Chain A
């Protein structure tokens, strides 16, 4: 009896919540807009297991914080969208602008845990 009714209620509140879920904008950065980087520019790669601080938009908040560093090229996530803990992430970076050590510090500064893994 309860099954069908609760489905309706959940559908309704799900839609409502979608209107509300997002983040505050980060502080406005200085400098030029994002620029294309030729494929020939050398890149490095870091891959690992990560726990993000739980919040409704944890993945996006991490991306926005880490991407502020222009040495970060691309962040790629696993398929566990919506989860904050137990994720896998791969970060490519421009080796002439950012060292691996600095990148690892950056990732750890914006996550609860990061454990580097070989691919």
Chain B
């Protein structure tokens, strides 16, 4: 009983392994003396965790703040501590550290007497993937007395290894129908196989996907329909078409989506046949988009029938789809929908007209700018604004923002939406409303950002400084750009107060602002924190100081990256990416470039992510190599970092790469990443 309680609390602590811990900020924070003693010995003695109890076990973040130097002690803990709960914790922390040197210890832990320890070791082996882990995982998987959940976890981890032997086993398991009352692990085997797809011939992979599409196990069919959209193999069309009538809505929709992506004209007939029978908006939209790509000539006659359908909800969605495909050919159908008896359909048609991008759509919209239905009136005005390229500000102001209805208590939503639209268009008439709306928390910073950034009023900037001091830290970058009077004083005082009060969150944000606006005094102040035990604070202090010209902090940035747990590297890379000063970038660039080519994949890709943020065009090529790597982990990390960087320049560079890419899997990956942007 005691053990199971410990185990559950161990699971509850898992998210803290990902986030930076909160305990290490203050060097003098009160801790249990036993815990402190263990922490102080953790990097010096590899036996310190062998005989400790749960009460003396330091928190996971506190151990992780000490970095990779704790690995030997954690390995001994995993092998020798008598308490299964502690062994589970040590395996978790080894996973978060991500040091490949821990792999032998983790493989040995697959022999642990306790199933929960084995489960944690299985997951860790998946998170620190290496082909050599296959034999140990396969051995565990094939044991008859192994727990079912561990067998499933082992299959999932095998998918991460990048091992040909794993692929062989997974392909066998994919075709293994479970015995009666036994767990069906075919979907897990399939997903793992998909992760390892770069090791397979494309025809073999396509045949496995085709097989999975044809099974009677919905979980497996759904997984196969999902990947079909990325694989885009024409050989799958024959298997996907019958799924348009599958009982599962998810499978039907994924199949339609995949058919649209594959782009084989054979699918058009099937989609046209399915269209009149559709009973859900999502399916109708997916079919319409797929058809629009596959056979434009067939699309408009089909949609014409739907815009005249006897059910209002179908007419509404048909109008919506016409707008979203953005062809001017949709204009006559939308004009017809404007005469629909349903307000919903007319509203949908008004919105759609705004998306057509043709000036011919403006005339029919004008008649609705005074419509008694406030929804139709608003949508017509915003559609006109959109068609005019943002030139209908007066219409928004007069008919919406300053209207009697908008000023009444019932019209607050209309007024706010109008103010936000005016703000995006840089209209100063909305200033008073927008600043107040942001201060009150009724408008997000994102909503008012365009206006606030362009607003030169010193009083607005002063109010933004006040808002920052009250906790609106999303303004940090803005204050750095505008530097209203008093910013440095506020940032310095906020930093002092946060450190004195142990407010880690505020300290971090204050450091960021000091990095934006600080002076030589601030640099000195920040340099005093380069030995912070808290990894995140240490990195923020070093980054802020580096931005202010501190060469001393460069080494802290690099050594913190080198020592950091793998699970924290993405967050640390994001902090370093904030350096915008060319001089500081120039100082760090050679070392980061060196690391980006190193054998430690986690560190390499984190370093490359910083370079990508600094200069997407030059930095992208390391990721193009990564997407095509033989190592699965490198491929997956490359995709993950590319997904996180949302810059428009990177989108353009990725399109350039896709246009010139001939390697099939790299094309698939680039295509999928661009689809999500």
Contact = CB atoms under 8 A, between A and B. Distances in A.
B253 interface: yes
A33 B663 contact: yes
Interface in A1-54: 2-3, 5-6, 9-10, 12-13, 16-17, 19-26, 28-36, 54
A49 B93 CA distance: 56
Nearest to A66: B659
Interface stretch (B196-204, B320-328, B591-599): B320-328
B658 A10 contact: no
A72 B652 CA distance: 12
B31 interface: no
A33 B662 contact: yes
Count class of interface residues, chain B? 35 or more
B599 to A, nearest CB: 22
State the 7 A-B residue pairs at the shortest beta-carbon distance, nearest first.
A20-B289, A67-B659, A16-B282, A24-B263, A63-B655, A34-B657, A85-B357
Interface stretch (B184-192, B468-476, B553-561, B667-675): B667-675
Q: Is the interface of B mostly helix, strand, loop or mixed?
A: helix
B661 A33 contact: yes
Contacts of A33: 624, 628, 657, 660-663, 666
A55 B325 contact: yes
A74 B316 CA distance: 40
Interface in A54-111: 54-56, 58, 60, 63-68, 70, 72, 74-77, 80, 82-86
Contacts of B351: 10
Nearest to B627: A33
Given A3-B374, A20-B257, A86 B659 contact: no
B239 interface: no
B659 A22 contact: no
A19 B347 contact: no
7 contacts: A10-B320, A17-B289, A17-B321, A19-B285, A20-B289, A25-B263, A56-B292
A58 B327 CA distance: 10
Given A23-B293, A56-B292, A13 B317 contact: yes
Contact of A84 (B317, B321, B357, B657): B357
Count class of interface residues, chain A? 35 or more
A64 B675 CA distance: 13
Given A2-B373, A54-B357, A29 B656 contact: no
B347 A2 contact: yes
Q: Counting chain A CB atoms within 10 Å of each CB, which of B285, B652, B660, B662 scores highest?
A: B660
Contacts of B253: 19
Given A20-B286, A55-B326, A58-B326, A31 B660 contact: yes
A25 B672 CA distance: 11
Nearest to B675: A22
Contact of A54 (B257, B281, B326): B326
Contact of A28 (B286, B657, B667): B667
Interface string B311-335: 0000011001100111110000000
B655 A21 contact: no
A38 to B, nearest CB: 9
Nearest to A36: B621
Q: Counting chain B CB atoms within 10 Å of each CB, which of A21, A58, A76, A82 scores highest?
A: A21
B570 interface: no
Contacts of B666: 33
B343 interface: yes
Interface in B237-291: 253, 256-257, 260-261, 263, 281-282, 285-286, 288-290
B662 A56 contact: no
A10 to B, nearest CB: 7
B257 A19 contact: yes
B324 A63 contact: no
Contacts of A84: 326, 357
Interface in B345-399: 347-348, 351, 355-358, 373-375, 386, 389
A113 B657 CA distance: 26
Given A3-B375, A25-B263, A30-B662, 18 more contacts: A17-B324, A19-B285, A20-B256, A20-B260, A20-B286, A20-B290, A22-B260, A22-B261, A24-B293, A33-B660, A55-B327, A64-B659, A67-B658, A67-B660, A68-B660, A76-B652, A77-B652, A85-B358
B282 A19 contact: yes
